[in-house]
């Protein structure tokens, strides 16, 4: 037994680390609150108030956007409602429906095959299937447009082989709503695959065997037993994919697909009506809210517990069945990563000049600067929020921490509108005050600056860092704070000297994930970047829009190369273990 003073009163903790850890985990899961004593809530008021301030700052863009819904604009809103708004709604719904079907078919089928069966290449394919996450959908769009357009290699070879001429054959247009659905499905199905695979691995073999004993076929058992049990995981993966679809700007703009994101940029930049842009942003935000609500309603009060341990139940396939399973599982990564990466590499090798220009080096520097600064700040804020919620035990601080993570569900276009409005107002206020007091024209200090852009990134991606850091902090025993207090450390000193060194791996992972997401982000960057300060994502979009695909390919290859780093780490972990 170990005696540890706590707020002037002695408490005794059995020296049994595994039991203690299980108790803390159970307590946190049951109460959804940090496992800390109430006496610590007043020990770090500075941390609590700092966490509340950070959460309030990150909530400003959403509040600003929603507040503009009933404001009078410049007349563009009535024009949008009468002309293009019905098209925005219909196209967005069709896009969401198509992507939902696509990611479910690709993600669930591949997850089931690599989980329930053994066949040649299965161990290798189970991690290769996640590689398309490194390929942004807009990069896929550029690559396939070059390959499938009329002057591209596919149609050129088709004409040479058949002798057909122009207008003598029909070829599906890639730059269309159907093409956008295909690009999103290939880029986003890994969300469903990863979650569905984890759910299938955790299912009890007894349930599957019971279904087979009752006369069910292999696929009948899958549809009646395995898939329904994995429904929460599949629904969560589909929700993530659909939110990424709503947030996209590069693919739909390049393919000329009329969605809400395209409409927001058109209202803001072409019509100059920020109120109309905000009102479109609110409608887009409603789409996100409806998606989340539908997922929760679909799950309802159903519970999906596995009460029996799962032995390895993978069935061995051979012959044509093994070949078919290998083809089904290899096609998504081939179409979603291998082929487009090869196309981009071919374009770059064919015209290597863009790789050796100072412009590309400048773009890499800009992208790495923004990604690095955002990653460092995001990790620091995530550590502050997670530690403040753990230490205080206050429901208000806990809600603030959760509220700070809501930005990940917001499309980049919505965040851009919500950031630009208050930042421009603050700039004008400071400029007027400086002119009145000192006769100095300061201009716009924040609007179109790196600071405003980093702020938008933090609103969008802080959730990623917060979830990762929170998971690392949860592994540290609460008694560490007690020991540090006994030794005279303040809460801030305890965080700096004790907790941060112990969870450096989680913080490094969080920073890497935020770094990669900022590298790939396009809508907020496109709207808020400083003048003459482009990034790799913006360069790829601009060059592709101008049909300068070799230059777009060079920038896209760098983005894909950086995005591969965390995926290779994840794939290595998947390859190491096959859950049993």
Q: Are 360 and 554 in contact (CB under 8 A)?
A: yes
Q: Are 409 and 295 in contact (CB under 8 A)?
A: no
Mean pLDDT of the chain: 78
Most confident of 206-215, 233-242, 324-333, 506-515: 324-333
pLDDT reading at 513 higher than 90 = no
C-alpha neighbours within 13 Å on the C-beta side of residue 342: 8
Q: Which two tokens stand for residue 451?
A: 């600071």
Q: How many CB atoms sit inside 10 A of residue 94's CB?
A: 16
Nearby residues of 124 by Cβ (< 8 Å), 6 or more positions away: 575
Region 28-43: mean pLDDT is: 40
pLDDT, tens digit (0-9, with 9 covering 90-100), for 270-323: 777 778 888 888 888 788 778 777 766 665 555 545 544 454 556 788 889 899
CA 118, CA 314: separation in Å to the nearest integer?
6
**Which of 210, 203, 211 lies closest to 229 in space, CA to CA?**
203
Most confident of 71-75, 224-228, 355-359, 557-561: 557-561
Residue 472, Cβ density class (10 Å: 0-12 exposed, 13-18 middle, ≥19 buried): buried
| DSSP H/E element including 234 | helix 231-247
φ, ψ dihedrals at 255, nearest 5°: -90, 0
How many residues in total does the chain contain? 580
Residue 174, Cβ density class (10 Å: 0-12 exposed, 13-18 middle, ≥19 buried): buried
CA 197, CA 128: separation in Å to the nearest integer?
13
Region 173-193: mean pLDDT is: 92
* pLDDT confidence tier of residue 386, bands split at 50, 70 and 90: confident
Q: Write down the pLDDT at residue 42.
A: 41
CA 157, CA 90: separation in Å to the nearest integer?
36
| DSSP H/E element including 459 | helix 450-474
Q: Are 547 and 99 in contact (CB under 8 A)?
A: no
pLDDT reading at 208 higher than 80 = no
SS3 letters for 43-104?
CCHHHHHHHHHHHHHHHHHHHHHHHCCCCCCCCHHHHHHHCCHHHHHHHHHHHHHHHHHHHH
Q: Write down the pLDDT at residue 413.
A: 81
Q: Model-level pTM?
A: 0.77
User: Across 138-219, where does the E strand assignment appear?
Assistant: none
In CATH terms, 1-62+361-534 corresponds, of 1.10.375.10, 3.30.470.20, 2.60.40.1190, 1.10.3720.10, to: 1.10.3720.10
Buried b / exposed e along 324-335 (16+ C-beta atoms within 10 A): ebbeebbebbbb
In CATH terms, 75-301+308-352 corresponds, of 1.10.10.60, 1.10.3720.10, 3.40.50.720, 3.40.47.10, to: 1.10.3720.10
Q: Write down the pLDDT at residue 220.
A: 66
The residue ranking higher by pLDDT, 51 or 177, is 177
Dihedral of alpha carbons 530, 532, 536, 537, sign: positive
Q: Write down the pLDDT at residue 576.
A: 60
**Alpha-carbon separation of residue 514 from 378, 524, 574 (angstroms):** 8, 15, 21
pLDDT reading at 361 higher than 80 = yes
* Domain range list for the chain: 1-62+361-534, 75-301+308-352
Q: Which of 104-113, 147-156, 326-335 has the lowest mean pLDDT?
A: 147-156
* pLDDT confidence tier of residue 1, bands split at 50, 70 and 90: very low
Q: Are 465 and 382 in contact (CB under 8 A)?
A: yes
The residue ranking higher by pLDDT, 424 or 307, is 424
pLDDT reading at 52 higher than 60 = yes
**Alpha-carbon separation of residue 355 from 100, 191, 364, 554, 556 (angstroms):** 37, 32, 11, 6, 11
C-alpha neighbours within 13 Å on the C-beta side of residue 418: 30
Q: Are 567 and 132 in contact (CB under 8 A)?
A: no
Domains 1-62+361-534 and 75-301+308-352 share a fold: yes
Q: Which two tokens stand for residue 54?
A: 């950070």
Nearby residues of 538 by Cβ (< 8 Å), 6 or more positions away: 522, 525, 526, 529
């Amino acid at each position: 037994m170990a005696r540890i003073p706590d707020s002037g009163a002695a408490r005794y903790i059995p020296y049994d680390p595994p039991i203690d850890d299980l108790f803390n985990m159970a307590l946190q899961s049951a109460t959804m609150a940090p496992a800390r004593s109430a006496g610590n809530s007043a020990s770090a008021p500075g941390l609590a108030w700092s966490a509340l301030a950070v959460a309030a700052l990150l909530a400003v863009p959403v509040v600003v956007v929603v507040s503009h819904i009933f404001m009078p604009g410049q007349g563009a809103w009535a024009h949008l409602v009468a002309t293009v708004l019905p098209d925005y709604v219909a196209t967005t719904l069709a896009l969401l429906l198509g992507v939902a079907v696509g990611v479910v078919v690709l993600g669930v089928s591949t997850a089931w095959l690599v989980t329930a069966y053994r066949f040649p290449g299965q161990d290798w394919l189970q991690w290769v299937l996640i590689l398309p996450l490194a390929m942004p959908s807009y990069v896929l769009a550029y690559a396939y447009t070059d390959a499938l357009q009329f002057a591209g290699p596919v149609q050129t070879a088709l004409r040479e082989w058949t002798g057909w001429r122009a207008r003598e054959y029909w070829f599906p247009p890639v730059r269309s709503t159907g093409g956008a659905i295909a690009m999103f499905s290939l880029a986003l199905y890994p969300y469903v695959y990863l979650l569905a695979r984890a759910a299938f691995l955790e299912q009890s073999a007894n349930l599957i065997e019971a279904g087979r004993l009752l006369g069910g076929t292999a696929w009948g058992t899958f549809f009646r037993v395995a898939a329904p049990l994995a429904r929460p995981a599949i629904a969560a993966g589909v929700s993530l994919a659909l939110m990424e679809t709503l947030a996209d700007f590069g693919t739909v703009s390049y393919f000329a697909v009329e969605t809400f994101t395209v409409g927001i940029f058109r209202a803001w930049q072409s019509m100059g009506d920020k109120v109309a842009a905000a009102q479109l942003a609110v409608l887009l935000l409603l789409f996100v809210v409806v998606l989340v609500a539908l997922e929760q309603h679909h799950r309802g009060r159903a519970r999906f517990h596995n009460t029996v341990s799962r032995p390895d139940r993978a069935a061995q396939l051979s012959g044509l069945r093994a070949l078919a399973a290998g083809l089904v599982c290899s096609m998504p990564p081939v179409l979603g990563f291998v082929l487009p990466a090869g196309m981009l590499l071919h374009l770059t090798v064919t015209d290597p000049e863009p790789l050796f220009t100072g412009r590309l080096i400048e773009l890499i520097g800009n992208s790495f600067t923004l990604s690095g600064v955002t990653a460092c700040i995001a990790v620091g804020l995530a550590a502050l929020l997670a530690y403040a919620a753990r230490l205080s035990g206050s429901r208000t601080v806990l809600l603030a921490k959760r509220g700070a993570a809501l930005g990940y569900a917001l499309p980049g276009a919505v965040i851009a509108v919500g950031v630009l409005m208050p930042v421009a107002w603050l700039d004008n206020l400071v400029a007027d005050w400086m002119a009145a007091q000192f006769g100095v024209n300061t201009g716009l200090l924040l609007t179109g600056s790196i600071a405003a852009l980093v702020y938008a990134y933090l609103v969008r991606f802080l959730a990623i860092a917060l979830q990762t850091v929170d998971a690392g902090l949860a592994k540290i025993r609460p008694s560490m704070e007690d020991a540090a207090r006994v030794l005279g450390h303040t809460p801030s000193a305890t965080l700096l000297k004790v907790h941060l060194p112990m969870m450096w791996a989680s913080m490094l992972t969080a920073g890497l994930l935020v770094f990669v997401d900022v590298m790939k982000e396009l809508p907020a960057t496109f709207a808020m970047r400083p003048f003459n300060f482009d990034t790799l994502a913006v360069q790829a979009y601009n060059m592709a829009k101008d049909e300068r695909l070799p230059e777009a390919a060079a920038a896209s290859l760098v983005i894909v190369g950086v995005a591969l780093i965390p995926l290779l780490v994840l794939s290595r972990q998947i390859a190491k273990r096959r859950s049993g």
